[in-house]
């Protein structure tokens, strides 16, 4: 593995003694059916942190997020989410109740329904639903005037905002975000990434962010893990990555 392991190890030691991590993963192997694509992955996310999960196409980033969100069973290893273990029987619903939300790569919207209906559907008749929607619209104010528009007619950036607004309705404590900037203009992508940063700081959310636009993501992440061919090839702080072009290349390309 490349990268600043010593700094990352120090961070690991420090966090062991502090409050429990929002997410702690040890020796994770994950994949699809019998095919294992992620091997021996260790990572953690603390309160108030935005952590990048980088790597080239096919490295296993989405597979990792789906496994952490309870959508795929782990093949091996330990996952602890928000104080509890994740086993083969822990479904996505249980993890959602603990406070985990996944913002999937395909955005997971009901394209024929309006913005408001997409938000209301998420609430499952939860009490105080209207207030939760208003709260989410405060974070993403550009959605306010678009509430009666069908989700399928929104721009890419607006759709991504709606996907994030839906995730925020449950007042999550841990967000897993897959390729938020996919297909978006750099300015729009940058705004969304900064919104994640603000949420992490102001609400002490933990965010694990899969992102291909590494320079944009480096503006908002605290630490980084990079995968290649399903294995961890780099971990370190965002500062270290910005200073070292070789490390940056490892994060981009998964070069060992
Ligand atoms: N449903 C599936 N069934 C079988 N194999 C899959 C499935 N989904 C993904 N894979 C394979 O798992 C490997 C990792 O894919 P994954 O989508 O996790 O990578 P990624 O790093 O997120 O890539 P990208 O940046 O292109 O989205 C790839 O070889 C892919 O073909």
For residue 247, give the nearest of 51, 11, 5 by alpha carbon: 5
Structure confidence at residue 124 (pLDDT)? 66
Residues 180 and 150 in one domain: no
Is residue 212 domain-shared with residue 224, that is, in the same domain? yes
Which residues surround ligand 1 with Cβ inside 6 Å? Answer: 32, 35, 37, 55, 57-63
The pLDDT of residue 198: 95
- Same domain flag for 72 and 52: yes
Domain co-membership, 159 together with 41: no
Give SS3 for 90. coil
The Cα 246–Cα 2 span in angstroms is: 9
Rounded Cα distance between 139 and 36, Å, is 38
Structure tokens at 5: 């392991």
Distance 63 CA to ligand 1 centre (A): 6
Q: Which of 37, 54, 212, 217 to mutate to test the pocket of ligand 1 (most atoms within 8 A of CB)?
A: 37
What is 13-46 written as a DSSP string?
Answer: HHHHHSSPPSEEEEEEEEEETTEEEEEEEEEEE-
What is the ipTM score, two decimals? 0.97
Within this chain, do residues 152 and 140 fall inside the same structural domain, yes or no? yes
Residues 65 and 189 grouped into a single domain: yes
Same domain, 95 and 48: yes
Based on the domain organization, do 119 and 23 belong to the same domain?
no
Using the atom order of ligand 1, give the atom closest to the CA of residue 31. 12
Distance 70 CA to ligand 1 centre (A): 16
**pLDDT for the residue 121:** 86
Residue 148, burial from CB neighbour count under 10 angstroms (0-12, 13-18, 19+): exposed
Based on the fold, state whether residues 91 and 178 are members of the same structural domain: yes
Residues present in the chain in total: 256
Closest C-alpha to ligand 1, atom 30: 58
Give the structural domain span for 149: 106-170
Rg (CA), the chain: 18
Q: How many domains does the chain have?
A: 2
Do 127 and 208 reside in the same domain of the chain?
no
CA end-to-end span of the chain, whole Å? Answer: 7
- Distance (Å, whole) CA 230 – CA 60: 5
pLDDT per residue rounded down to tens, the chain (256 residues): 654 444 444 444 444 445 678 999 999 999 999 999 999 999 999 999 999 999 989 999 999 999 999 999 999 999 999 989 998 888 888 898 899 999 988 888 999 999 999 999 877 656 677 888 999 999 999 999 999 999 999 999 999 999 999 999 988 999 999 998 888 888 889 999 999 999 999 999 999 999 988 888 999 999 999 999 999 988 889 988 888 777 767 666 655 5
Q: Are 177 and 222 part of one and the same domain? A: yes
Domain CATH number, residue 33: 3.40.50.300
Q: What is the dihedral of CA 88, 123, 176, 243, to 10 degrees?
A: -170
* C-alpha separations of 200 from 15, 83, 112, 218, 222 in Å: 17, 18, 31, 15, 11
Domain final position from 170, 188, 208:
170
- Cα of 137 to ligand 1 centre, how many Å? 33
CA of 142 to the centre of ligand 1 (A): 33
185 and 212, same domain (yes or no): yes
């Amino acid at each position: 593995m490349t990268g600043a392991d010593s700094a990352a190890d120090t961070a690991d030691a420090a966090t062991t003694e502090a409050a429990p991590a929002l997410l702690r993963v040890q020796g994770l192997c994950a994949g699809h059916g019998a095919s294992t694509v992620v091997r021996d992955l260790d990572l953690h996310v603390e309160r108030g942190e935005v952590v990048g999960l980088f790597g080239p196409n096919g490295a296993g980033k989405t597979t990792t997020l789906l496994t952490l969100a309870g959508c795929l069973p782990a093949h091996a290893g330990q996952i602890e989410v928000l104080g509890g273990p994740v086993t083969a029987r822990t479904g996505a619903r249980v993890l959602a109740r603990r406070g985990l939300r996944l913002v999937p790569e395909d955005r997971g919207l009901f394209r024929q329904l309006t913005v408001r209906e997409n938000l209301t559907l998420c609430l499952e008749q939860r009490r105080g639903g209207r207030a939760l929607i208003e709260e989410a619209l405060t974070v993403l104010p550009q959605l306010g005037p678009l509430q009666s528009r069908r989700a399928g007619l929104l721009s890419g950036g607006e759709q991504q905002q709606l996907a994030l607004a839906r995730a925020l309705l449950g007042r999550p404590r841990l967000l897993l975000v897959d390729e938020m900037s996919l297909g978006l203009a750099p300015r729009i992508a940058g705004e969304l990434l900064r919104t994640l940063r603000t949420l992490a700081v102001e609400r002490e959310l933990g965010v694990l962010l899969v992102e291909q636009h590494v320079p944009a993501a480096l503006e908002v992440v605290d630490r980084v893990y990079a995968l290649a061919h399903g294995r961890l090839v780099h971990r370190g702080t965002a500062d270290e990555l910005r200073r070292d072009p070789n490390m940056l290349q490892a994060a981009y390309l998964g070069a060992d």
